[in-house]
């Protein structure tokens, strides 16, 4: 089982967190759980293995919507997968429909984007060279970006709003951020959800949860300290929210960290 990560080109750096290629030749069957990350992904399956989500077979070309709760996955066979991991708002640049429509599901990207993405999948199957595969994906994404240029102004605004939320101290209210960007709180909520699939509150909760995962993985602090560092009210608040995203308490998660889920959180 191997993940290899690739950075995007300069033109796509504002939109793509990274690309990755996942190889697994063991052929063994296993089950795992995917947790909310705040990011959406496109995944091209390039081998004979089968992935399933909640016992439903995944398509060959996957669009992962925003995951807001624990999601069961199953795997069998050998895999080669090429994934595109977007920033929270940036999948919207490449899709023409509201991204919230895909929350908590793995949709068929071939049905959504049609012939061009199916042709890309065929091209990816025809070459085993990683650099060529990334170049094909980048050419496809740049074309999509140009086609969606008219949508870019509003999506850019969402990106600026999310940056403000990340930088703002916890005590600053969303109303203040809305005023900063010259919009109402109601419109801020609508704009963020339409282009990320998350409400501003959910975005903050998932970002806090992801930070807690990184601290737990280090295993060098008590949970009370982690709760404080991540901005939870107390340890009880931390445990309750952590369990809503994983189905586990932090201590149970620490005892059962899976290699796949560690890699998926990057």
Tokens 């060279």 found at = 129
Q: Among candidates 174, 156, 157, which has minimal Cα distance to 165?
A: 174
Q: What is the pLDDT of residue 170?
A: 62
Q: What is the pLDDT of residue 109?
A: 98
Alpha helices in the chain (DSSP H): 109-113, 115-126, 130-147, 152-167, 174-180, 185-196, 200-218, 223-230, 235-246, 250-255, 259-264
Global pTM value: 0.92
Tokens 């984007």 found at = 113
Across the chain, which has 266 residues, the per-10-residue mean pLDDT values are: 92 97 84 92 96 92 96 92 97 93 96 97 97 98 91 92 82 84 94 95 94 89 93 93 95 77 54
Tokens 């650099």 found at = 131
Q: What is the dihedral of CA 113, 119, 121, 125, to 10 degrees?
A: 180
Report all structural domains of the chain as residue ranges with CATH numbers, in order of start: 2-147 (2.60.120.10), 150-198 (1.10.10), 201-264 (1.10.10.60)
Q: What is the DSSP string of 196-262?
A: HSS-HHHHHHHHHHHHHHHHHHHT-S-HHHHHHHHT-SSHHHHHHHHHHHHSS-HHHHHHT--HHHH
């Amino acid at each position: 089982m191997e993940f290899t990560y690739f950075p995007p080109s300069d033109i796509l750096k504002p939109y793509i967190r990274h690309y990755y290629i996942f190889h697994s030749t063991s052929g063994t069957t296993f089950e795992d759980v995917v947790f909310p990350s705040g990011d959406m992904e496109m995944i091209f399956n390039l081998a004979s293995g089968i992935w399933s989500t909640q016992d439903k077979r995944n398509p060959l070309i996957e669009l992962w919507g925003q995951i807001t709760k624990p999601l069961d996955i199953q795997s069998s066979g050998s895999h080669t997968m090429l994934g595109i991991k977007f920033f929270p708002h940036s999948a919207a640049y490449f899709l023409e429909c509201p991204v919230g429509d895909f929350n908590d599901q793995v949709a068929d990207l071939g049905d959504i984007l049609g012939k061009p993405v199916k042709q890309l999948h065929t091209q990816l199957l025809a070459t085993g060279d990683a650099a060529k595969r990334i170049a094909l994906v980048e050419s496809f994404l740049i074309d999509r970006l140009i086609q969606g240029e008219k949508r870019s102004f509003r999506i850019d605004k969402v990106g600026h709003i999310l940056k403000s939320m990340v930088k703002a101290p916890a005590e600053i209210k969303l109303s203040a951020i809305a005023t900063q960007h010259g919009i109402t709180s109601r419109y801020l909520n609508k704009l963020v959800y339409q282009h990320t699939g998350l409400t501003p509150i959910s975005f903050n909760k998932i970002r806090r949860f992801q930070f807690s995962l990184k601290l737990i993985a280090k295993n060098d602090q008590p949970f009370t300290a982690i709760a404080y560092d991540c901005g939870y009210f107390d340890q009880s608040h931390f445990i309750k929210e952590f369990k809503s995203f994983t189905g586990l308490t932090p201590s149970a998660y620490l005892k059962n960290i899976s290699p796949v889920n560690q890699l998926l959180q990057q």
